[in-house]
Structure 1
Amino acid sequence: MIYVSPLSAVIDAIRTVRPSHLVSLLDPETMIDTPEGVARELHLQLAVNDIAEPNDMLVTPGEGHISELIGFVRSWDQRSPMLLHCWAGISRSTAAAFIALCTLNEDHPEDELARLVRARGSHAHPNRLMVRIADDLLGRNGRMREAVEALGPGRAAWEGELFSLPTHPERTVP
């Protein structure tokens, strides 16, 4: 399973879902150390701001960050859950969850995976820049971008809540 949470729920989520792998997507000033219960080498820390356009004053998610995320997901043995979080659990972490699902399910339609993220987290509003970069790196020819754009905005929220996604979801029969 893949779990998505805001920073405020990380410690409780580690206690309850017992993830082997953790991905933190926070700006450099608020990046956390590896929490107890997670091995340091299984904690990917991506210090990026939640922005969709380059900004000289902030750390823009880039190809290197998304490539690291994809490599981390590919190296995960999937025997224990992976927990993804950002500050609010709405944008960077839901983009990372969508990217993880697309990485693990190469032949699964992107629109189904995006709708699954939204169905499990109604507040999900995946970071468009992260998705655009992943779309290019995974060779999805714009389908990831289109799938996220088709979702529209998520439910308005200051902070999301913990939700889970199956690692290999069933395909929807047309």
Structure 2
Amino acid sequence: MASHPPFGITVCGIEELGGHAALGATHVLSILDPDYPVPEAFGQYGEHARLERRFHDIIDPMPGMILPSPADVDAVLSFGRLLQAEAAAMLLVHCHAGVSRSTASMVLILAQAMPHVSAAEIIGTVYGIREKAWPNLRLLEMGDARLGRGGSLVEAAFGLYRLQLERRPQIADFMLGEGRGREVAGGRVSPPLRL
């Protein structure tokens, strides 16, 4: 990628947080299920700014579950703006598995920080640091609208879904079972993301 993020970035799941304690993260975006306890691994981290958001990893309403909201997207973007004011910022974003909510949030933060970089490059950057990335479509749809990207982040995500479906065909059944049919359908009709 020709344009590099203006701050350090990494994505992980809860089980990997302990292994990232020495990373020197200055900013941590922590995305958790509503009733999940705060991970103990943060006790090993040095001083850092941390934003915690709580919602389920869903893209459409499901009984008893909390959708990502516009307020969540606004909070993520506001947190992202803090990074741009610091010279040596290092951002760690995590969710439960480091696959969906976290990668979508990282895409939005990078899209905001690099408005002249294409959506495909931004999605490719996130894929480059997290090969199993499958960004949450609802977060991308709301964030794309907030950032005035004209649907390009969603289109690039469909390309990534297609790439993942080609490389890991079994993921389709899992995502369909999780109520993520819109993502699978978009991926099936899109050309794969060119890396």
Q: Give the TM-score normalised by the residue count of structure 1.
A: 0.82
1:105 to 77, 101, 114: 114
Partner secondary structure for residue 22 of structure 1: strand
Distance 1:24-1:78 versus aligned 2 partners, 3 A rule: farther
2:143 to 114, 131, 134: 134
- Tell me how far apart the structure 1 counterparts of residues 78 and 157 of structure 2 sit (CA, whole Å): 22
- Tell me how far apart the structure 1 counterparts of residues 123 and 25 of structure 2 sit (CA, whole Å): 23
Amino acid at match of 1:150: G
| Corresponding residue number in structure 2 for 1:124 | 133
- Tell me how far apart the structure 2 counterparts of residues 13 and 83 of structure 1 sit (CA, whole Å): 9
Distance 1:78-1:89 versus aligned 2 partners, 3 A rule: farther
1:43 counterpart = 2:50:
yes
Q: Which has the larger radius of gyration?
A: 2
Partner secondary structure for residue 30 of structure 1: coil
Distance 1:33-1:117 versus aligned 2 partners, 3 A rule: closer
Choose between structure 1 and 2 for higher RCO, CA contacts under 8 A separated by at least 6 residues.
1
Deviations 1:16-72 (A, max 9, x none): x110111111111114168232547x1100101100112241110010001000000
Q: Could you list the runs of 5+ residues in structure 2 that have no partner in the other structure?
A: 1-7, 172-195
C-alpha contact 1:19 1:83 (8 A) present in aligned 2: yes
Partner secondary structure for residue 29 of structure 1: coil
Q: Could you list the runs of 5+ residues in structure 1 that have no partner in the other structure?
A: 159-174
| Corresponding residue number in structure 1 for 2:36 | 30
**Structure (1 or 2) with the greater helix fraction:** 2
- Tell me how far apart the structure 2 counterparts of residues 119 and 29 of structure 1 sit (CA, whole Å): 31
How far 1:11 moved relative to its partner?
Answer: 2.1
Distance 1:44-1:128 versus aligned 2 partners, 3 A rule: same
1:86 to 95, 100, 104: 95
Distance 1:152-1:78 versus aligned 2 partners, 3 A rule: farther
Q: Which moved more, 1:49-58 or 1:113-122?
A: 113-122
Q: Give the TM-score normalised by the residue count of structure 2.
A: 0.74
Amino acid at match of 1:5: C
| Corresponding residue number in structure 1 for 2:26 | 20
How far 1:75 moved relative to its partner?
Answer: 1.1
* Number of equivalences: 156
Deviations 1:85-113 (A, max 9, x none): 00001111111111111011011111111
Q: Which moved more, 1:1-10 or 1:116-125?
A: 116-125
C-alpha contact 2:14 2:39 (8 A) present in aligned 1: no
C-alpha contact 1:22 1:43 (8 A) present in aligned 2: yes
